[in-house]
Structure 1
Amino acid sequence: MKGALSWPFLRLYVLTLLYFSANAILNVIIPLKGESLGATNTTIGIIMGAYLFTTMLFRPWAGLMIQKYGPIKALRTILAINGLALLLYTFTGLEGYFVARMLQGVCTAFFSMALQLGIIDALPEKDRSQGISMYSLCASMPGIIGPLLALGIWQAGDMQVFTAAMIAVAILTGGVGYSAKMDNKVAEPAEGKTKQGAAMLKSFSQLIKNPHLFKCSVLMLTASLVFGAVTTFIPLYAAQIQSGNAAIYLMLQAGTVVVARFVLRKKIPSDGKWHSAFVMTNMLILAVAAQAVSFSAIGGAVFFYIGAGLMGIAQALLYPMLTTYLSFVLPQESRNVLIGLFIAMADLGVSLGGVMMGPIADLSSYSTMYMICAILAVSMILFGYDRRLRFVGSR
C-alpha cells in the first residue's frame, strides 16, 4: 500500500487508536460518576471541559515545539505523563478527575499536533485529506466499543474493572508508543524556523486578520460546541428518553464517523479551494442532528438515534475538510502554528459545549439546550458560503 495507507502511517494510526481509547470510556464514566456524587451539570461540564480547554491553551506552543524539534522527541514524555493521568482516575474523586483531565489535555495537545503535522508534512498534497481522515478515523474508532464497556463497568458497580482498564490502556499505549518509529520524513525537525518562536503570540491576531483561518475557526468552534454538548451530557440525557441508551447512541455516532471517514475519505476536497456547498451541507446536517436529539425527549428513541447518525456524518467530514483546506492556503513559514490555532478553536468549542451548555441544562432542560445547539448550527449555514475564498499561492 502507498500514500496515506503505507506501513509507516498505519503504525501512527494504531498508536492513535490506543491513545484515545481511554477517553471513550471516561466520556461516559465521568458524567455518571459526577451525577452519583451529586454534582450539577455545571460542575460536570467544567470537569469534562477542562480536558480540551487545556489542550487548546497548549496547542500553539506544541505546534511550535514540534516544528522546532520534531515530533518523535516529545512522544515518550507525553505517553509517560498520559499514563500518570490515567492512574489518577483509579484512586481519586472529582477533584482528582479535574487534575487528570488537565494532564490529559497537555498530552493530547502535543500528541495530536505531532501526528497531524507529521502527516501533513510527509504526504503529497493529493493524499493529505486521506491522511487526516485516517487519523481522525482512528481517534474516533474507540468510541464504537468504549461507551458500551463503560456502561457495562458502571452498571456492574465494580470499579476495580475500571482501574484495570485504565492501567491496561496506559501500559499498552506506552509500550506501542515507545517502540514505534516515525518515518524519517515525518520525524524531521524543522530547523531554521526557530525565529517563529518570537512571533508565536503575534500569530494569534491571524485568527481575525487571515480570512481563511477566521472562517474555518468560527465554523469549527461552533460545530465543536455542539459535539462537546453531546459528549458531555448524552450519558445523562439518555435516561430521560424512552428506550434511550447512551452507549448505543455514542456507539452509533462513533460508528458513523468511522464508516463515513473511510468510505468518503476520497470525496473530501483536497484541492485548496473553498467548497461552499460541502461546508453548508455539513452545517445543515449538524443542525438537523442537534434538533433531532432535542426532539427525542418528546418523539422518543427513533429521533435520538437518527440524531446520532447525522451527528456522526457532520463530525466525520467537516474537520478533515477544513484542516486540509488550511494546509493549502496558510503561509508555509507559519502554517504549523496557525493550524495549531485552528485545532485549538476546535478544542475550545468542545470545552464550551460542556462549560456553557451545563448551566443552560441546569436552568432549563437537556432538550432546550440541544435546541440552542441546533440554532447555532443553523446560523453557520450562511456563514459557510463564500465564493471569494479560493486557493492562493501562499506556499
Structure 2
Amino acid sequence: MERLWTKPFVTLTIGMLALFTGFYFLLPTLPLFIQDLGGSQTQVGLVSGVFTLTAVLFRPFVGGMLDRYGRRPFIVWGLLLFALAMYAYDWVGGIAALLALRFLHGLSWAMSTTAVGTAITDIIPSERRGEGMGWYGLAMTIAMAIGPMAGLWLIEEGSFRAVILVATGLSVLALALAFAARTPFQRSAERKPMKLFDRSLLPITIAILFLAVAYGGITTFLSLFAVSIGVNAGLFFLVYAITITLVRPIAGKLSDRFGEAGVIIPALIVTVAALIVLSMAAGTAGVATAAILYGLGFGSAQPALQACALRMARPDQKGVANASFFTAFDLGIGLGSIALGAVSQFAGYPALFAVCAGSAALSLIVFVAAVRGRLTNSRQAAGEEVVA
C-alpha cells in the first residue's frame, strides 16, 4: 500500500489549515467592520454574496484550466492574490471599495482552494483516497472551530486591523508552504478543448448541492436559533467540531474499504436525523445531541461525496471534478441562506431545520437513485472489489 503521509500531503494540508483559519477570522468580524463603515444589514448580505457568487462563477473555469495547464501556477498565483487581497482590507474606506475587494478575494479563493484541492487528490494514493480526503478535510474543520473565536478575540482585544494583519500572516504562511510542496502533474499529450463541466457528474453535483443547502441553514441560522431557546451557540459548534474531528479519519478508511456508497448512504440518513432532532430541540440536550449526529453524518458524507466525484470523473479531469464539487457546495450554501431566511421569517426556526432535513433527504434520494449505480460501475471498471 502506498504512503499517504508524504511531505507534499502534510505540507499542503498544514498550509490549507493556515489559509482556512485566516479566512474564518473574517466570518464574524467583517459584519462588524461593515457597520463601522456605516453599512446596512442589506449591505452586509451583499458583501458576503459578492464573495460567494464570484467563487461560484470562476470555479468551473479554474477547474478546466487546471487540467490543461497544471496545478502549480494556480496554487501560487491564487494564494499570492489571496494574501494581497487579505492585506488590502486594511486600506478599505467605503462600501464600494469593499465590494470590489470582495470580488478579487472571491476570485483568489476559487483559484487557490480548487487548485490545492486538486493537487491533494493527485498526491493521495487512489486506494487511500477516502482516508486522505478525510484528513485533508480536517484542515477546514479545525479552522471552522478556532477561526471565528480567534477573530472575535482579536477584534475585542485589538482592532479589525489586528484581525487583518494576523490573517494576512497566515495567508503568507500558506503560500510559503504550498510553494515548497512538489505537486505532480502530467499534461495530456492529446490537445482537447478545455472542459468546464462533465455531464456525467451532474447527479453527484445535485446530491452535493442539496446537502450544502442544509449546511447553509446550519451556518447561517444556528446562532440565532440558539439564542431564541436560551442555549449557547458555541456548544453546538464545539461538539460538532470534536465529533467531526474524531469521525472523519475513520469514515475515510471505511470508504476505502467498503466503497463510498457504504459510507454516504448511512451518513446521509444520520444527517437527516440530526436536522429533525434540531428542529425539535428546546434546550441544551437537544442541541448537543443534534451536534453529535450532524458531526457523524455530515462529517462522514462530505469527504466521501468529494471522493465519489473524483472516482466518477476521468483521470485527466480531476480539476473539473473538484471545481464541480466546490461550486455545488458554495452554491448550495448561498441558495440555502437566502431561501431559508424566508422560511425562518414566516414559519420559524423549527420549520427551517425541518426544511433542511428535507433537503438532506433529497440528497440521499438523488444519490441512491442516480449515483450509486454509476459509482458501482466505476469501481468495477477500475477492477476494484464492490462490497454489497
Q: TM-score, length-normalised on structure 2? A: 0.84
**Contact 1:328–1:391 (Cα < 8 Å) also in 2:** no
- For these two proteins, the number of residue pairs brought into alignment is 376
Match of 2:253 among 266, 270, 282: 266
Tell me, what secondary structure is at the counterpart of 1:260? helix
1:288 aligns with 2:273: yes
CA distance in 1 between counterparts of 2:125 and 2:358 reads: 38
Displacement after TM superposition at 1:135 (Å): 1.6
Match of 2:224 among 209, 230, 236: 236
Letter in 2 for 1:165: V
1:383 aligns with 2:371: no
Name the structure 2 match of 1:256. 243
| Deviation string, structure 1 residues 304-357 (Cα, Å, up to 9, x no partner) | 222222222223211221222232232234343244223311121112122222
Match of 1:195 among 192, 197, 202: 192
**Contact 2:130–2:256 (Cα < 8 Å) also in 1:** yes
1:169 aligns with 2:167: yes
1:142 aligns with 2:139: no
Identity score, percent: 23
Displacement after TM superposition at 1:31 (Å): 5.5
1:1-395 → structure 2 map (5 Å cutoff): 3-30=3-30, 39=40, 45-90=45-90, 91=92, 98-152=99-153, 156=156, 160-178=158-176, 180-181=178-179, 183-184=181-182, 186-188=183-185, 190=187, 192=189, 194-197=191-194, 200-201=195-196, 203=197, 206=199, 210=200, 213-242=201-230, 244-269=231-256, 275=261, 278-296=263-281, 299-386=282-369, 388-389=373-374, 390-392=376-378, 393=381
CA distance in 1 between counterparts of 2:226 and 2:152 reads: 12
CA distance in 2 between counterparts of 1:45 and 1:174 reads: 28
Over 3 Å counting, the alpha-carbon distance change for 1:315 and 1:127 in structure 2 is same
CA distance in 2 between counterparts of 1:379 and 1:100 reads: 36
Displacement after TM superposition at 1:69 (Å): 2.4
CA distance in 1 between counterparts of 2:104 and 2:349 reads: 29
CA distance in 1 between counterparts of 2:46 and 2:112 reads: 23
Q: TM-score, length-normalised on structure 1? A: 0.83
Over 3 Å counting, the alpha-carbon distance change for 1:218 and 1:43 in structure 2 is farther
CA distance in 2 between counterparts of 1:163 and 1:238 reads: 30
Letter in 2 for 1:391: N
Displacement after TM superposition at 1:94 (Å): 5.9
CA distance in 2 between counterparts of 1:245 and 1:74 reads: 40
Displacement after TM superposition at 1:138 (Å): 0.9
**Contact 1:66–1:189 (Cα < 8 Å) also in 2:** no
